[in-house]
Amino acid sequence: MRPVLVETVAALRTRVAEARGRGATVGFVPTMGALHEGHARLIEAARRDCGALVVSIFVNPLQFDRADDLARYPRALDRDVEMCRGLGVDLVFSPPVTEMYPAPAACTVDPGRLADHLCGRFRPGHFRGVATVVLKLLNIVQPDTASFGEKDAQQLAIVRRLVTEFNVPVAIAGVPTVREADGLALSSRNARLTPAERALAPSLYRALRAAADAIEAGETDAGAAARDAAARLPADPLMRLEYLDIVDPDEVQPVREIGGPVLVAGALWVGGTRLIDNVRCEPPAGAREAARARRSPS
């Protein structure tokens, strides 16, 4: 009989209240559906830590900056529910758009400077839409813990921040990115790649990894690390690098001299598909101290 599929806020709240009444802690994994192995690992990780697990499947129009991307976003509800069943999910919340946005939104969550760089620079309004729907979903489900993939690093940074700054009583768990054998990060958008595009797609991760390797070997000049990494991407008319940047993981602001943990993040267009990925790394202790000494005049 599991999972129960609910489509309204009221029904979801009733079911969650029943679970709470049984003394269950509530875990939550928000998704846009088209579930893949990366989601499965996210759901498995969340499953281990709660008594009742809610997965939402909602393709949020507010976070799409391009109508064609929204129209083409893959949808596979029956298959998604089947996968949730196999993973022990208790409740699948799949509201229609009119349930989430009965009227045109007036109030939105503005993520401020956290959306100034990386994807935020290229997708105006995207993170406002993400932050707004995540806040709504957290208020609807009221979970103890909500889990997000580290693949969407800027999203995760924004969700962590909005929860802290708005005093939302929930713990946020980041779950590591799941990769194909050749390094490509799993993504619902990978399904759109042609075989030729699929062959090129892992070059994004390889470039990010090259920058991370250089940083872990002592490179503290973020600009040099990013340029060298971008130069490793094969020249191919099917590919266009949107950005490859090195930022501070919490503030999502560009770093020049690397003196602590950083996020090496990139977005690559392969044909008509935009792929993102990131790697977190930090310089060895010696390089960090040397960088700090260079920054400090004393």
Binding region for a copy of itself (CB under 8 A)? 9, 13, 105-114, 128, 131-132, 135-136, 139-140, 142, 158, 161-162, 165-169, 251
Helix, coil or strand: residue 93: strand
Catalytic pick among 36, 39, 117, 126: 39
Q: Which helix (H) or strand (E) holds 68?
A: helix 67-72
The CB-of-165 to a copy of itself minimum distance in angstroms stands at 5
CB of 294 to a copy of itself, least distance (A): 26
Which lies closer to a copy of itself via its Cβ, residue 9 or residue 45? 9
* C-alpha span between 61 and 53 (Å, rounded): 24
Euclidean distance between CA atoms 201 and 199, whole angstroms: 6
Minimum distance from CB of 149 to a copy of itself (Å)? 20
Q: Tokens for 76?
A: 């596979």
164: Cβ–Cβ under 8 A, 6 or more apart, which residues? none
Residue type, 220: T
Cα separation, 128 vs 115, whole angstroms = 8
Measure the CA–CA gap between 248 and 276, rounded to whole angstroms: 17
Instruction: Report the nearest approach of a copy of itself to the CB of residue 40 (Å).
Output: 28
Cα torsion 19, 22, 28, 34: sign: negative
In whole angstroms, the minimum distance from the beta carbon of 270 to a copy of itself comes to 32
Q: Which is nearer to a copy of itself, 8 or 194 (CB)?
A: 8
DSSP notation for 141-183: H--SEEEEETTSHHHHHHHHHHHHHTT---EEEEEPPPB-TTS
Whether 39 sits among the annotated catalytic residues: the reply is yes
Closest to a copy of itself by CB, 136 or 189: 136
Q: Which is nearer to a copy of itself, 174 or 283 (CB)?
A: 174
Active site residue ranges: 39
